[in-house]
């Protein structure tokens, strides 16, 4: 038997499996790349910690805005949503690993434009087109920078979480985003499982645990068995298009409809107004988790109207009730797959910001017949768990092991369009399956296979992952070649395919055409571009900083020349004016270095004047005992 | 999805000798001399991977203990900082353990796997055989199922009641088939070759019946679900 598995494995994809000598514990961070918010955490001497900014905020809003100086991420980008909605991208996670047709329906809720195509989603911002992994990479880069500032050294390795119900394309897209952000993604971990790790570390309890995870845009239910430090996922189910976003959409629709019906005002075409409504109803919804009623106010000066409306919790619940109900089907399916009676589920844990909603808690409690846990901050627990898994991979934590499952059945399209299942859903990963292929025509040299993921009987009803061509089969009568294909799902839940020709010694190769993914060449190009952009961004920022500095110096110098008119000689004044003119000229150029040099020259020429002004001001202060405006301080 | 580690690249080792240092080292464990992870021999069956003899009577909690213990030893999480050979062995061995546990923990899956090893596999879905004594009733049920689809409000309740009754009856027949199956285990485990062949044949028939019942039950579930509709909005 000849081994004919052939390298479609590009060097970069297998880089992480290169030999590496064991060494001191490396720095690996855990990242929760969320629909609404993202955060980064690390393991600090056995305790997972969220990395916060100077103001103590751990959450970075998953919003990217493209301003004149390059992309901004987080709170600043979120603020741009209401004034420049068309230049901001949010909830990009809903687009990861998706095709245009998949998201066409919900595009009306988004201010940005998406280019219609047969392939993956491409978001249009100005004259730029970005894929969801590129936008996600900008968020990851921001988190990476935050971590690097915290540690004072480069951060290059990460564990990133994804919804448990993410398919192969969505996982691959997340991994690609990490690579574009310059991160070696050591592991993709499922969010509910990560949350369970964080809880497990804290409480060290054993038993069967259900994790109900309702985030901004995705819903997961995972049922785990925890025993002797092994966290074994028994079943998982979910909906990757269901979350708090959908609550807000229902409320936005309510407001827009009311404006139309009661005030004859149609705002459905006003992107900025829609964003203002969206952020407003989101705030109202969050408030109604603790209050019984709130008032939603929306000034609409362009329509000479201020929309005010009281919203009660009961009303909110009637609006979101049908959406919450959609989470119960997957819960029942997962319980059914586990095959245990409900009483055997010892605990229920709530994860994700949307589980703060009392209605959600109520429905979960009804379904499972027990009060759910939420001791750990539902916004942070996933990142904490990611940090635990990062520490396991870095060789730190050894008493815990996570055994996750593949959420969707993997199969190949057979004759007639049916699906032959190779790896059923809820199979513990890593896992592999073999399948034999042969030819149907004499002398056939290529065998094509179509790999799908999903639970439906027909291939067309499932998610198309990729088409694989086995090439280089030697000419033989039909049915004689024996090609053994191995499908391997690794611990990330990501598929790889390899092939061996059993009968002959001739090489065959596997060629992949991902249905909704980036090709290796595209990822490589994006990595290069992101580096270029990063440089361009740094340059742009440098220019802005230099101009701001120049402006400050110019203003202060003008002021000093007026106030210090008595102390300045004619020649000195001429020299200063000349330097000021040079700086003004440099400032209108694009060269940050020239601006800085001209600024320095002005500073130099005005130094003596500044000192004299300072002395004079001091004398004045001493004499008159009053505080004087000291322009010299500004002029340095 | 873009290719992957080449499985089996280092699985071929010389007998029970460590592939790296040549010392005697157990399968699927670390070499006592050099600490390198050893692969399972190519073609190991699921029992061998879990360190068991080929038997049908297995203790579920013992299986789980082995599954956990082996993964604690060879899961890829613990080999990330080791050589690429060991990473591949770990990935392959962990996949083998997971596949073995999944196949053996369920008694039906266990028998299906054994039949496959013995060249008596049922194949996918095919070969399902109706139980002789129920053949006519099942034909009538199919008709009732068709009728329900077009039934008006007067006829529907009676048809539904009939199908629900059949579902209960066939469900218990399926449960009985599974009991009969596990009842064969001690005989196969203790038997000589001739006995084993005979028991295998019997188990194969039971599985064929069970496969048939499963298909009929699934059709019944679908037919009844469309009408009841209670859970339809959940999906």
**With an 8 Å Cβ cutoff, is A509 touching chain B?**
no
> What does the alpha-carbon distance between residue B69 and residue B66 come to, in Å, rounded to a whole number?
5
- Predicted pLDDT of residue A609: 83
Task: Give the pTM.
Answer: 0.79
Among A5, A429, A495, whose Cβ lies nearest the Cβ of B1?
A495
> What does the alpha-carbon distance between residue B141 and residue A547 come to, in Å, rounded to a whole number?
84
> What does the alpha-carbon distance between residue A60 and residue B36 come to, in Å, rounded to a whole number?
43
- Whether the pLDDT of residue B213 is over 80: the answer is yes
**With an 8 Å Cβ cutoff, is A512 touching chain B?**
yes
Asked if B76's CB is within 8 angstroms of A401's CB, the reply is no
The order of strands in the sheet holding A495-501 is A431-437, A483-489, A495-501
pLDDT tier, B228 (very low <50, low <70, confident <90, very high otherwise): very low
Two tokens, residue A308: 């005010």
- Predicted pLDDT of residue B100: 95
Question: What number of other Cβ atoms are within 10 A of residue A454's Cβ?
Answer: 20
**With an 8 Å Cβ cutoff, is B215 touching chain A?**
no
Buried/exposed code over A577-593 (b: 16+ C-beta within 10 A; e: otherwise): eebbebbeebbeeeebe
Question: What number of other Cβ atoms are within 10 A of residue B127's Cβ?
Answer: 13
- Predicted pLDDT of residue A22: 43
Q: Name the minimum distance, in Å, from the CA of B231 to any CA of chain A.
A: 7
Please provide the DSSP assignment of A563-622 as one string: HTTTT--HHHHHHHHHHHHHHHHHHTSS-HHHHHHHHHHHHHHTHHHHHHHHHHHHHHHH
Residues of A with Cβ-Cβ distance to B83 under 8 angstroms:
19
> What does the alpha-carbon distance between residue B39 and residue B33 come to, in Å, rounded to a whole number?
16
Buried/exposed code over B105-119 (b: 16+ C-beta within 10 A; e: otherwise): eebbebbbbbbeeee
Residues of B with Cβ-Cβ distance to A5 under 8 angstroms:
3, 6-7
Q: What is the pLDDT of residues A437-459, one digit of tens each?
A: 888 888 888 888 888 898 888 88
Local structure of residue A217 (DSSP, 8 states): S
**Nearest of A118, A166, A161, A237 to residue A515 by alpha carbon:** A118
* Residue that the structure tokens 């179509």 belong to: A450
Q: Name the minimum distance, in Å, from the CA of B24 to any CA of chain A.
A: 24
Among A168, A498, A520, whose Cβ lies nearest the Cβ of B7?
A498
Complex-level ipTM beyond the 0.95 threshold = no
- Predicted pLDDT of residue B226: 61
pLDDT tier, B5 (very low <50, low <70, confident <90, very high otherwise): very low
Asked if A429's CB is within 8 angstroms of B91's CB, the reply is no
Residues of A with Cβ-Cβ distance to B88 under 8 angstroms:
17
Q: How, if at all, do strands A157-162 and A128-130 pair?
A: unpaired
Asked if B81's CB is within 8 angstroms of A20's CB, the reply is yes
Residues of A with Cβ-Cβ distance to B80 under 8 angstroms:
186, 393, 395
Question: Which residues 100-159 on chain B approach chain A with CB closer than 8 angstroms?
Answer: 101-102, 124
Asked if A14's CB is within 8 angstroms of B68's CB, the reply is no
Angle at B186 between CA B181 and CA B191, to 5 degrees: 115
What are the DSSP E strand ranges found in A305-380?
305-312, 347-351
- Predicted pLDDT of residue B52: 95
Size of interface A-B (CB pairs under 8 A): 128
- Predicted pLDDT of residue A618: 64
Two tokens, residue A42: 């690390």
Chain B interface test: which of A239, A403, A517, A518 (most B C-beta within 10 Å): A403
Which residue ranges in chain A fall short of pLDDT 50? 1-23, 625-636
Among A168, A186, A395, whose Cβ lies nearest the Cβ of B1?
A168
Q: What is the pLDDT of residues B135-180, one digit of tens each?
A: 777 777 887 887 887 777 787 888 888 888 888 888 898 899 999 9
Local structure of residue A372 (DSSP, 8 states): P
**With an 8 Å Cβ cutoff, is B183 touching chain A?**
no
Residues of B with Cβ-Cβ distance to A453 under 8 angstroms:
none
- Predicted pLDDT of residue B127: 60
Question: Which residues 171-200 on chain A approach chain B with CB closer than 8 angstroms?
Answer: 172, 186
Two tokens, residue A224: 């785990």
**Any bridge partners for residue A509, and if so which?**
A471
Asked if A392's CB is within 8 angstroms of B77's CB, the reply is yes
Q: Name the minimum distance, in Å, from the CA of A21 to any CA of chain B.
A: 7
* Residue that the structure tokens 């694009």 belong to: A590
Q: Within 13 Å and on the Cβ side, how many CA atoms surround B230? A: 4
Local structure of residue A120 (DSSP, 8 states): B
Asked if B84's CB is within 8 angstroms of A7's CB, the reply is no
Residues of B with Cβ-Cβ distance to A430 under 8 angstroms:
76, 91, 94-95, 98
Chain A interface test: which of B3, B11, B45, B66 (most A C-beta within 10 Å): B3
Indicate the average pLDDT of chain B: 83
Dihedral angle sign, alpha carbons of residues A591, A592, A593, A594: positive
- Predicted pLDDT of residue A3: 36
Residues of A with Cβ-Cβ distance to B79 under 8 angstroms:
none
Q: Name the minimum distance, in Å, from the CA of A406 to any CA of chain B.
A: 12
Q: Name the minimum distance, in Å, from the CA of A495 to any CA of chain B.
A: 5
Residues of B with Cβ-Cβ distance to A433 under 8 angstroms:
99
Q: Output the CA–CA distances (angstroms, integers) from residue A63 to A51, A89, A99, A142, in the order listed.
A: 19, 6, 21, 11
Dihedral angle sign, alpha carbons of residues A50, A51, A54, A58: negative
- Predicted pLDDT of residue B124: 46
Asked if B76's CB is within 8 angstroms of A496's CB, the reply is no
**With an 8 Å Cβ cutoff, is A25 touching chain B?**
no
Among A228, A401, A496, whose Cβ lies nearest the Cβ of B75?
A401
Asked if B71's CB is within 8 angstroms of A497's CB, the reply is no
Q: In Å, how far from its chain's centre is CA A226?
A: 29
Active site residues of A: 32, 93, 191, 213
Question: Which residues 455-494 on chain A approach chain B with CB closer than 8 angstroms?
Answer: 465-466, 486, 488, 490-491, 494
> What does the alpha-carbon distance between residue A574 and residue A22 come to, in Å, rounded to a whole number?
67
Residues of B with Cβ-Cβ distance to A366 under 8 angstroms:
none
């Amino acid at each position: 038997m000849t081994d004919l598995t052939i390298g479609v494995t590009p060097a970069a994809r297998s880089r992480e499996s290169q030999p590496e000598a064991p060494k001191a514990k490396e720095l690996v961070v855990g990242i929760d790349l969320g629909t609404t918010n993202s955060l980064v955490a690390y393991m600090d001497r056995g305790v997972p910690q969220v990395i916060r900014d100077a103001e103590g905020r751990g959450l970075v809003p998953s919003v990217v805005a493209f301003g004149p100086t390059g992309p901004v991420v987080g709170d600043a980008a979120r603020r741009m949503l209401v004034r420049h909605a068309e230049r901001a991208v949010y909830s990009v996670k809903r687009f990861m690993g998706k095709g245009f047709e998949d998201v066409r329906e919900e595009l009306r809720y988004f201010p940005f434009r998406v280019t219609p195509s047969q392939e993956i989603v491409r978001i249009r911002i100005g004259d730029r087109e970005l894929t969801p992994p590129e936008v996600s990479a900008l968020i990851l880069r921001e988190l990476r920078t935050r971590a690097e500032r915290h540690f004072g050294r480069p951060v290059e390795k990460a564990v990133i979480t994804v919804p448990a119900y993410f398919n192969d394309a969505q996982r691959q897209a997340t991994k690609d985003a990490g690579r574009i952000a310059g991160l070696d993604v050591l592991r993709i971990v499922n969010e509910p499982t990560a949350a369970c790790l964080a809880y497990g570390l804290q409480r060290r309890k054993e038993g069967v645990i259900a994790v109900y995870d309702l985030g901004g845009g995705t819903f997961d239910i995972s049922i785990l068995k925890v025993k002797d430090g092994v966290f074994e996922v028994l079943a998982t189910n979910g909906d990757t298009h269901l979350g708090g976003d959908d609550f807000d959409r229902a409320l936005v629709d309510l407001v827009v409809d009311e404006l139309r019906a009661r005030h004859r005002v149609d705002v459905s075409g006003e992107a900025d107004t829609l964003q203002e409504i969206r952020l407003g109803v989101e705030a109202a919804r969050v408030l109604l988790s603790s209050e019984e009623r709130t008032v939603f106010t929306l000034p609409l000066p362009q329509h000479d109207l201020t929309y005010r409306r009281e919203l009660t919790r009961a009303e909110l619940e009637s609006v979101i009730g049908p959406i919450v109900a959609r989470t119960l089907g997957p819960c029942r399916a997962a319980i059914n797959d586990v095959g245990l009676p409900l009483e055997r589920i010892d605990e229920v844990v709530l994860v994700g910001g949307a589980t703060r909603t009392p209605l959600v808690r109520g429905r979960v409690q009804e379904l499972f017949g027990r009060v759910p846990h939420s001791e750990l901050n539902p916004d942070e627990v996933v990142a904490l768990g990611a940090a635990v898994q990062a520490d396991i991979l870095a060789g730190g934590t050894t008493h815990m092991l996570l055994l996750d499952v593949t959420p969707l059945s993997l199969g190949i399209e057979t004759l007639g369009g049916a699906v032959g299942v190779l790896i059923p859903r809820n199979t513990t990963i890593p896992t592999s399956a073999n399948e034999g292929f042969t030819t149907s025509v004499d002398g056939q040299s290529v065998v094509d296979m179509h790999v799908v993921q999903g639970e439906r009987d027909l291939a067309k009803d499932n998610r198309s992952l990729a088409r694989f061509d086995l090439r280089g089969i030697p000419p033989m009568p039909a049915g004689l070649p024996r090609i053994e294909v191995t499908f391997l799902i690794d611990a990330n839940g990501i598929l790889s395919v390899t092939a061996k020709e059993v009968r002959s010694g001739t090489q065959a190769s596997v060629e992949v055409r991902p249905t909704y993914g980036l090709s290796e060449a595209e990822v490589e190009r994006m990595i290069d571009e992101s580096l270029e952009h990063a440089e361009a961004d740094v340059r742009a920022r440098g220019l802005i900083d230099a101009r701001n500095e120049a402006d400050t110096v110019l203003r202060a110098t003008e002021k000093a020349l007026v106030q210090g008119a008595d102390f300045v000689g004619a020649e000195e004044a001429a020299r200063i004016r000349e330097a000021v003119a040079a700086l003004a000229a440099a400032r209108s150029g694009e060269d940050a270095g020239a601006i800085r040099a001209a600024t320095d020259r002005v500073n130099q020429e005005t130094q003596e004047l500044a000192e004299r002004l300072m002395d004079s001001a001091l004398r004045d202060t001493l004499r008159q005992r009053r505080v004087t405006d000291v322009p010299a301080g500004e002029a340095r | 999805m873009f290719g992957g580690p080449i499985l089996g690249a280092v699985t071929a080792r010389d007998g029970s000798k460590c592939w790296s240092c040549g010392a005697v080292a157990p399968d699927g464990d670390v070499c006592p001399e050099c600490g390198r992870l050893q692969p399972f021999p190519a073609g190991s069956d699921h029992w061998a991977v879990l360190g068991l003899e080929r038997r049908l009577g297995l203790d579920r909690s013992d299986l789980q203990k082995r599954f956990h213990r082996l993964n604690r030893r060879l899961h890829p999480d613990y080999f990330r900082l080791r050589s690429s050979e060991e990473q591949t062995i770990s990935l392959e061995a962990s996949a083998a353990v997971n596949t073995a546990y999944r196949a053996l923990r369920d008694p039906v899956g266990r028998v299906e796997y054994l039949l496959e090893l013995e060249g008596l596999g049922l194949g996918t879905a095919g070969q399902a055989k109706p139980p002789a004594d129920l053949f006519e009733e099942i034909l009538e049920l199919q008709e009732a199922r068709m009728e329900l689809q077009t039934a008006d409000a007067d006829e529907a309740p009676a048809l539904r009641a009939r199908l629900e009754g059949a579902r209960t009856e066939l469900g218990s027949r399926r449960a009985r088939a599974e009991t009969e199956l596990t009842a064969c285990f001690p005989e196969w485990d203790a038997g000589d070759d001739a006995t084993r062949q005979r028991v295998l044949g019997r188990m194969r028939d039971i599985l064929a019946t069970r496969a048939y019942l499963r298909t009929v039950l699934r059709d019944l579930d679908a037919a009844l679900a469309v009408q009841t509709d209670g859970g339809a909005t959940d999906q």
